């Protein structure tokens, strides 16, 4: 099945005529605690394994779509107008083509409050916001599960960016991908904190899509990855249910390190680590030895996210003055 057929299977006879001339939406960034790393279907972004993430409710992407009477789309990223032949623009245009008539064009204004393409899940929040804006623009009135399915086509991790808190992305078994969607886990954990350490906001040297494909094809350890994820996911869900911080954080850190081990053993090897990345890792391990319970996770980029409890915020701010502390479980729901 190709992407266009998948869209039709999700939406049926969907409207390609805008119900309004402008629509906007916000979608939050999500940080995987049990990583998505590998596709069983590249066309439909179907994962080899399930995954589990934690949403950062005030970090993410706001995207506005405006219908324009022009021959091509206009794309603005963080205030900068992009040429239509850039990789970012081509990816957006190709995605929009799945939902519109050829004669319909948009002004797309998308703004991230996290660095783009630096391993901080900006594409996940970006495609989730884009799908939500399309839903409003065309008046489809989709449920979150349908939004999750459609956003997955743009970026796999985007399927997890429609909820607050913990979110599980189901691997699914069907070839058509209709059972591979995300849904929230109901547990609320007010004391949990996630701290973002931006160590390098430059565009990463190799994108996640290419990196995970190389790992799948060449790492001798990739065959063990699905079993590792299954074990970690079970442990994480148990830890969430019992609010066992040490189990949650230790498993998340180990899962991230296992993913990067796949990259180190790919041919040729892939490394997103910088000297600053390694320095933070060493410092976290030292702090734990000194009795401060803090752990880290790292995605496909050099930047580090710390996991800790609210009562240790002040101590960690002393050790990491630049730490951006996020409260995942806010009292209000994420506005979209």
Please tell me the pTM assigned to this model: 0.94
The predicted pLDDT at position 336 comes to 46
The predicted pLDDT at position 330 comes to 78
What is the CB neighbour count within 10 angstroms for residue 51?
27
Is residue 336 classed exposed, middle or buried when 0-12, 13-18 and 19+ CB atoms within 10 A define those classes?
buried
CB 225 within 8 A of CB 34: no
CATH class of 3-184: alpha beta
Is residue 283 classed exposed, middle or buried when 0-12, 13-18 and 19+ CB atoms within 10 A define those classes?
middle
CA distances to 45, 65, 99, 119, 202 from 93, rounded to whole Å, are: 18, 12, 10, 22, 24
Beta bridge partners of 55: 30
CB 59 within 8 A of CB 191: no
Sheet of strand 295-297, all strands in order from the earlier edge strand to the far edge: 295-297, 304-309, 192-197, 324-326
CB 182 within 8 A of CB 167: yes
The predicted pLDDT at position 148 comes to 98
CA distances to 25, 26, 57, 126, 307 from 62, rounded to whole Å, are: 6, 4, 12, 8, 26
Nearest residue to 54 via CA among 170, 145, 149, 185: 185
Beta-strand relationship, 80-82 and 105-112:
unpaired
- Binning the chain into helix, strand and coil, the percentages to the nearest 5 are 40, 25, 40
Beta-strand relationship, 166-169 and 51-68:
antiparallel
What is the CB neighbour count within 10 angstroms for residue 41?
15
Longest dimension (CA), the chain: 63
Is residue 332 classed exposed, middle or buried when 0-12, 13-18 and 19+ CB atoms within 10 A define those classes?
exposed
Q: Do domains 3-184 and 192-326 have the same CATH topology?
A: no
Q: How far apart are CA 201 and CA 120, in angstroms?
A: 9
**Main-chain phi, psi angles of 282, to 5 degrees:** -60, -40
Q: How far apart are CA 323 and CA 306, in angstroms?
A: 9
CATH no. of 192-326: 3.30.70.890
Q: What is the DSSP string of 263-297?
A: HHTSSS------HHHHHHHHHHHHHHHTT---EEE
Going from the first residue of the chain to its last (336 residues), give the mean pLDDT of each consecutive group of 10, the final group possibly shorter. Answer: 96 93 97 97 98 95 97 95 94 97 96 69 90 98 97 97 97 97 97 96 88 98 98 98 98 98 98 97 98 97 96 98 94 48
Nearest residue to 35 via CA among 213, 165, 174, 229: 229
Q: How far apart are CA 334 and CA 298, in angstroms?
A: 24
Domain ranges of the chain: 3-184, 192-326
What is the CB neighbour count within 10 angstroms for residue 189?
16
């Amino acid at each position: 099945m190709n992407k266009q057929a998948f869209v039709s299977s999700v939406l049926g006879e969907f409207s390609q005529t805008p119900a309004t001339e402008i629509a906007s939406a916000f979608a939050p960034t999500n940080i995987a605690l049990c990583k998505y790393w590998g596709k069983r279907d590249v066309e439909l972004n179907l994962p080899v394994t399930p995954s589990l993430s934690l949403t950062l409710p005030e970090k993410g992407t706001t995207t506005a779509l405006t219908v324009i009477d022009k021959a091509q789309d206009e794309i603005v990223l963080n205030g900068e107008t992009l040429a239509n032949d850039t990789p970012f623009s081509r990816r957006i245009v190709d995605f929009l083509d799945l939902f519109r008539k050829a004669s319909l064009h948009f002004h797309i204004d998308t703004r991230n409050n996290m660095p783009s393409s630096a391993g901080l899940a900006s594409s996940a929040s970006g495609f989730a916001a884009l799908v939500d804006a399309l839903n409003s623009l065309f008046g489809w009135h989709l449920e979150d599960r349908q939004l999750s399915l459609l956003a997955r086509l743009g970026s796999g991790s985007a399927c997890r960016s429609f909820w607050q808190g913990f979110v599980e992305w189901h691997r699914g078994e069907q070839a058509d991908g209709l059972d591979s969607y995300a849904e929230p886990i109901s547990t609320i954990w007010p004391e949990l904190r996630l701290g973002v350490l931006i160590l390098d906001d430059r565009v990463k040297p190799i994108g996640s899509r290419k990196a995970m494909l190389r790992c799948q094809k060449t790492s001798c350890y990739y065959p063990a990855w699905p079993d590792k994820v299954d074990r970690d996911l079970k442990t994480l869900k148990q830890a969430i249910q019992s609010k066992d911080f040490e189990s949650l954080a230790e498993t998340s850190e180990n899962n991230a390190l296992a993913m990067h081990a796949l990259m180190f053993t790919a041919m040729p090897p892939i490394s997103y680590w910088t000297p600053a990345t390694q320095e933070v890792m060493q410092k976290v391990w030292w702090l734990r030895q000194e009795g401060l319970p803090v752990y880290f996770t790292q995605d496909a980029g050099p930047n580090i996210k710390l996991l800790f409890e609210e009562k240790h915020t002040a101590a960690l701010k002393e050790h990491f003055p630049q730490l951006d502390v996020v409260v995942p479980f806010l009292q209000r729901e994420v506005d979209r």
